[in-house]
Structure 1
Amino acid sequence: MKEQISDFFNKIGLFSPLDFTDPVTYFIPGFILLIAGEIFLYQIPHKLFTKRMIKDDLSSVGLGIGSVLLDFGMKAITLSVYFWIYNNFRLTDYFGIENFNDFFTWKWQLDHWWLWLLVLIVQDFGFYWHHRLSHKIRLFWTGHVNHHSATHLSLAIALRQGWFEIAYRDIWYLPFILIGFHPIMIVMMHQFNLIFQFWPHTDAIGKLGWFDKLFNSPSNHRVHHSRKIEDLDKNYGGILMLWDHLFGTYKAEEQKTTDYGILHNISTYNVFHIVFDEFGKMVKDVKRAPNWKAKMNYIFKAPGWKHDGKDERISILQNDLKQKSNSETQ
């Protein structure tokens, strides 16, 4: 069966996803055990395992299954484009793999540990901008908002992946392929990044001191998923908090919150409603826009922009909150 599937992709000119060993698959049993452990050791004893949470988590699992199926096909396109650019247009061989058979030996891995460290840094940098722009451009937000639409935080929410997001999340790594980083290393590091991002989706772990300043953690990610105005659009890093510190988007957790979700939460657990809700709202806004400039703004400006009524972009709301706070202290 594997050979038949690989032959099918090769015949249509695409890299077969089955020829890529996805490290995420090896961690699935661990994900299941950790989710179960969180339920029985934390949520049930603290009386947090409610019907609403169960429905939210089941929706997350449904979104996760859909994203896995869609990602299978997307990997074929992504790796095909990556290899085409790498083989024909790469600017240097310094970051590449001379003999791909050597890549699967311990000797090559030990000799090239520094290359993995470099790939981690550049891939996480690409992920930071993918994640940040997914919050700042409404078209991309229609794909990412699904992940934020849960009204609680648990390890199961890590599975709540947007389907539209799969279509554009790999474009941010194209410059690194052009520079000469090998496609397999970039894609594998992206998957390792996703694996790392699983455990910060929990309320069960408190602050971790110095670790919170350097790495993505439950404390940092609670801020990212919080609905409080002052917490919105913060802590975008996948593994490292370095980029948030550099670009002014880092915010330490001041007080643990239980208010999660999006600015205007949606009251549905239907997987397809969750996936298409924001996209449908964007289409309606584009249709009612009075001119082409407004139509483009509804697509490419930050979520919350309106041609009429209150501007609910996060930057505007946070500025209003800051001015209100300043006036109250004077």
Structure 2
Amino acid sequence: MKALSLKTLSIASLLISSSLALSAEPEQCKNVTFSDPGWTDIGATNGVATTLLKAMGYDTQVYLLSVPVGFESLKNGKIDAFMGNWMPAQSAFMDKYKDNLDIIRTNLEGVKFTLAVPKYVFDAGVKDFADLAKFSQKFRQRIYGIDAGAPANQKLQNMIDTDDFGLKDWKVVESGEQAMLSQVARTVKRDNFIVFLAWEPHPMNVNFDLKYLTGGDKYFGPNYGGATIRTVTRKGYANECPNVGKLLSNLEFGLKMENEIIGSSEKPEQAAANWIKTHPEILDKWLQGVTTFDGQPALARVKQKLSEM
């Protein structure tokens, strides 16, 4: 009887384990939504996440939203996750929405984010924020920023409003990332002066011979605006959808990886898929403890789906 009881107990344990392994997330977790300000680096990280999620049986949607709208969308539950929480640049937004979202993890370190100029402008003597005013006419008293409402633009405007570095008559030109970079390309082609917000990772570091300016620590922090990027979600999302939450908590990236993905001419998802296929060892870390939507181990399924792409 004792042996029979042990056998029965073992079978019961096996059945329970199998049931847990096959348990799927709630149906409302099947569609996962992301915010993207239109930045190529966030396009790359979103591309990684959506590629993995689709292979795991989820549906995904990425919404192009400005940073302010993106945070508001997290608050009202229209967006599940944002993988582009640049810190400390977005500190004001985090203070405002701290009760409406959860910080999942830091997904990238070693980031640069401050003003930059073409190398020939740097060589002409513009090496620090304090050098800008000396060349006001050459710059046409303009600093090219990113999308309207971005915290970095607000920092630059504050710098102008307080007449820091003698820039009181200057103007911040707000535009989307691609429009700003198009302006940089046109200006560089003519060997004219331009100063603009720049960051790494980004293809601009390869496409342009640029130099980051010193002296902006008060506004962008030390080490050329050295920053970290975090993944945040709407409040309580990881508890509601723990499997997606686990994946997001596993996703950590590197500068080299992101530069390689965003430097591709392919769309973000395809570029991400190709990068993962050439670096399959990363999946062991990213998918540890993660299942497919229907509860199966994710690693084998994802590798299979990637091989079909």
Tell me whether the two structures share a fold, i.e. TM-score over 0.5.
no
Q: TM-score scaled to structure 1, two decimals? A: 0.24
Instruction: Determine which structure has the larger strand proportion and give its number.
Output: 2
If asked which structure has higher relative contact order (CA below 8 Å, sep 6+), I would say 2
TM-score, normalising length: structure 2? 0.25
> Whose helix proportion is higher, 1 or 2?
1
